[in-house]
Amino acid sequence: MCGIMGCVGPASSDAANTVYKGLKKLEYRGYDSAGIAVTDGNAVNVVKKKGAVEKLLPSLAGLNGNIAIGHTRWATHGKPSDANAHPHRSGGVCIVHNGIIENYAELREELSSLGETFYSETDSEVVAVLFRRNYRGDLLRALAETVKLLKGSYALMVICAGEQKIAAAKYKSPLIIGYGDDGKNYCASDEPALADKCKIMTVLGDGCFALISADNVEIYDGGLRPVTAKKVPLTAVSAELSLNGCSHYMLKELREVPVSVKNTVSAFSGVESKLKEAFKNVSRVIITGCGTAYHAGLIGKRYLERFAGIPTEVQTAGEFRYTEPLINENTLVLAISQSGETADTVEAARLSLAKGAKVVAVTNSAYSELTRLATVTVPVAAGPEICVAATKSYTGQIAALYLIAATICDESVKTNILGNINCVPELCKQVIENININTLAHMCAKSRGVYFMGRDLDYAVAREASLKLKEVSYIPSEGYAAGELKHGTLALIDRKTVSVVLITDKELAEKSANAVEQVLARKGKAAVITCVKEVAENFEGRAEIVLLPKCDKFLAPFIASSAVQYLAYRTAVLRRKNPDKPRNLAKSVTVE
Ligand code: F6R
């Protein structure tokens, strides 16, 4: 959610061009507007435009200077427009901000009464004005005095006429400092912006500040005491961020599902013993996450209860925090998040820790806020995911949850369960490479609404199928329990709707098949996604059939998810939508 990047190079280097290229790699964080501010230590110049980062390209030639900050925006306060685009300027000061300033209205009113003028509808512009008023030749002090007045979350970068440094501050929004191999130093909201530029970085802590110049980086704690920066490897590399011959990142990342599962299984051994320790004396598990991560949690609940016999609840993180959850030291909270930065999930973890629970993070992001907080982190080794819609990270999350449940279950069943997961990469590969989903994608693309349903694990996958389809194709969709069809949703079924029934468990096949019959009886279009040959035969000629490879029922969510995510992709492409950048959405939702 909003990508930011800064660069400080030696005198006469071209910082704007570098920041432009970095912002292009951060567009998954927002693509409503973009802007860059540049200085050579004297005047500050700004270019900002509504729309994607590319819109800045024609103006880059006029942005000369060795110090630049840039922003790609996901609008929260104020519509996407040139005026609301960052950087925001006040006199010789320019700022970029990721986060939300919750008390901006009060600050704006107060500053207006002091004669200040505002040019945007954003919450961020107050920061530029406050900084300018606080600046008396000392960047660090001015920034510290400014953030003291802010409520909310921020990753901030400031440049100022007459200064040869970028000043940065962070609270609850991610910020990394990169040490360049090229005589430059950098700052960014996340790693892809700095891929191939830096091999090491510092993850700035909450409440900390940084002063970045071409040959030096100074880090300060909240009391403005200098601290020794902890340096860690920066892992993003450009090769992994390329499309690799695919038309979209969503397709590329679906093709990487097998590797995501394989690498997550390999990485798991490193945390097994810590995990066992964390589960000691645990009588109850609460799984939390948002969107697709929550859907992975629905599957995880089933694994934990079936394999390990631990009562498990699943709650969306945005709800969890407001339900006065009954948590104590015998509760373990499993917080799932691709980015590890989703504000609701991070706050749910924080609340759980405060109530004495242990928190196990399941995340794709080793240096995220969630990782920092968690008692133990189980890595999802999906690699960078650029498409806004989660695919391979979700499958990696399911693999991690499967392994967690298998680790803490009885030794007698463990070997079998653990052995099974090794088949998953090949099964997913077969599905992604061979599945014939085109007819169903055409049916969905032309429909007025698509309803996914299933029982037990298929129900969890139906929820994910629906989210993915609406997110990338904008077709109204719902995912629900097959048994619920006759309790209301049946009223929506007609010739213009498509109902997709997932049937991967032979034991539930008969019951779920009833749902298909009910749809057909109401003249709805029906499709069946199944691993059960008899089901396919039963509906041949009456419904569209997508046959999946036969597998253990607890592994079926991996292949069924790959199938429905691929269906969403194909449908979006048929409708000429860009699945990588769905309208109104951004990848990391760092605001509540
Ligand atoms: C949907 C999607 C979102 C995310 C959700 C949580 O395709 O990607 O629903 O799953 O925003 O994000 P993370 O996992 O980063 O916490």
CA of 558 to the centre of ligand 1 (A): 17
Q: Which atom of ligand 1 is nearest to the CA of 289?
A: 16
The answer to whether the beta carbons of residues 575 and 476 sit under 8 Å apart is: no
For residue 351, give the 3-state DSSP assignment. helix
Q: Is the CB of 293 under 6 A from ligand 1?
A: yes
How far is the C-alpha of 566 from the C-alpha of 252, rounded, in Å? 11
How far is the C-alpha of 167 from the C-alpha of 156, rounded, in Å? 8
* Residue 2: closest CA among 144, 128, 156, 147: 156
CA of 170 to the centre of ligand 1 (A): 23
pLDDT of residue 419: 83
Residue showing tokens 């507007």:
33
Query: Looking at the predicted structure, is the pLDDT value of residue 374 above 90?
Result: yes
Residue partners of 38: CB distance under 8 A and separation at least 6: 15, 16, 44, 45, 46, 63, 64, 65, 67, 68
Region 492-505: mean pLDDT is: 97
CA of 589 to the centre of ligand 1 (A): 8
Region 385-389: mean pLDDT is: 95
Q: Which atom of ligand 1 is nearest to the CA of 391?
A: 7
List b or e across 299-329, with b for residues whose CB sees 16 or more CB atoms inside 10 angstroms. Answer: bbbbbbebbbebebebbbbbebbeeebebee
Query: Looking at the predicted structure, is the pLDDT value of residue 462 above 90?
Result: yes
Query: Looking at the predicted structure, is the pLDDT value of residue 74 above 90?
Result: no
Region 415-431: mean pLDDT is: 92
pLDDT of residue 149: 98
CA of 261 to the centre of ligand 1 (A): 18
Q: What is the pLDDT of residues 231-245, one digit of tens each?
A: 999 988 777 888 989
pLDDT of residue 16: 96
Q: Which atom of ligand 1 is nearest to the CA of 342?
A: 16
| CA dist list (Å): 558 to 145, 218, 254, 409, 440 | 51, 46, 12, 21, 20
CA of 130 to the centre of ligand 1 (A): 34
Q: Which atom of ligand 1 is nearest to the CA of 393?
A: 14
Q: How sure is the predictor about 476, in pLDDT bands with cuts at 50, 70 and 90?
A: very high
pLDDT of residue 502: 98
Using DSSP bridges, classify how beta strands 33-39 and 67-73 pair: parallel, antiparallel or unpaired: antiparallel
2 in catalytic set:
yes
Q: Which CATH number fits domain 2-239: 1.20.1260.10, 3.30.70.260, 3.40.50.150, 3.60.20.10?
A: 3.60.20.10
Region 353-360: mean pLDDT is: 97
Residue partners of 238: CB distance under 8 A and separation at least 6: 195, 196
Segment among 72-81, 241-250, 355-364 with least mean pLDDT: 72-81
* 250, 292, 339, 589, best to mutate for ligand 1 pocket (most atoms within 8 Å of CB): 292
How far is the C-alpha of 508 from the C-alpha of 117, rounded, in Å? 65
Q: Is the CB of 290 under 6 A from ligand 1?
A: yes
Region 55-80: mean pLDDT is: 92
* Residue 382: closest CA among 260, 252, 253: 260
Q: Which atom of ligand 1 is nearest to the CA of 397?
A: 14
Q: Is the CB of 389 under 6 A from ligand 1?
A: yes
Q: Is the CB of 339 under 6 A from ligand 1?
A: yes
Write down the architecture of domain 435-577 according to CATH: 3-Layer(aba) Sandwich (3.40)
Q: Is the CB of 580 under 6 A from ligand 1?
A: no
The fraction of the chain above a pLDDT of 90, given in percent, is: 90
Region 556-561: mean pLDDT is: 98
Q: Is the CB of 70 under 6 A from ligand 1?
A: no
pLDDT of residue 393: 98
Q: Is the CB of 565 under 6 A from ligand 1?
A: no
Is the model more confident about 76 or about 451?
451
Query: Looking at the predicted structure, is the pLDDT value of residue 139 above 90?
Result: yes
Query: Looking at the predicted structure, is the pLDDT value of residue 414 above 90?
Result: no
Both ends of the chain: CA-CA distance in Å?
11
Q: How sure is the predictor about 548, in pLDDT bands with cuts at 50, 70 and 90?
A: very high
Give the chain's mean pLDDT: 95
Q: What is the pLDDT of residues 96-135, one digit of tens each?
A: 999 999 999 999 999 999 999 999 999 999 999 999 999 9
50, 252, 581, 587: the catalytic one is 587
The pTM is what?
Answer: 0.93
CA of 393 to the centre of ligand 1 (A): 9
CA of 378 to the centre of ligand 1 (A): 17
| CA dist list (Å): 472 to 20, 222, 239, 458, 572 | 26, 42, 25, 21, 6
pLDDT of residue 428: 97
- Length of the chain equals 592
Q: Which CATH number fits domain 250-430: 2.40.50.70, 3.50.50.60, 3.90.25.10, 3.40.50.10490?
A: 3.40.50.10490
pLDDT of residue 412: 79
pLDDT of residue 478: 97
Phi, psi of 3 (to 5 degrees): -100, 140
Region 370-385: mean pLDDT is: 96
Q: Is the CB of 1 under 6 A from ligand 1?
A: no
The answer to whether the beta carbons of residues 424 and 555 sit under 8 Å apart is: yes
Domains 250-430 and 435-577 belong to one CATH topology: yes
Q: Where are the domains of the chain?
A: 2-239, 250-430, 435-577
How far is the C-alpha of 14 from the C-alpha of 66, rounded, in Å? 5
Tokens in use for 13?
Answer: 């280097």
Q: Supply the DSSP symbol for 27.
A: G
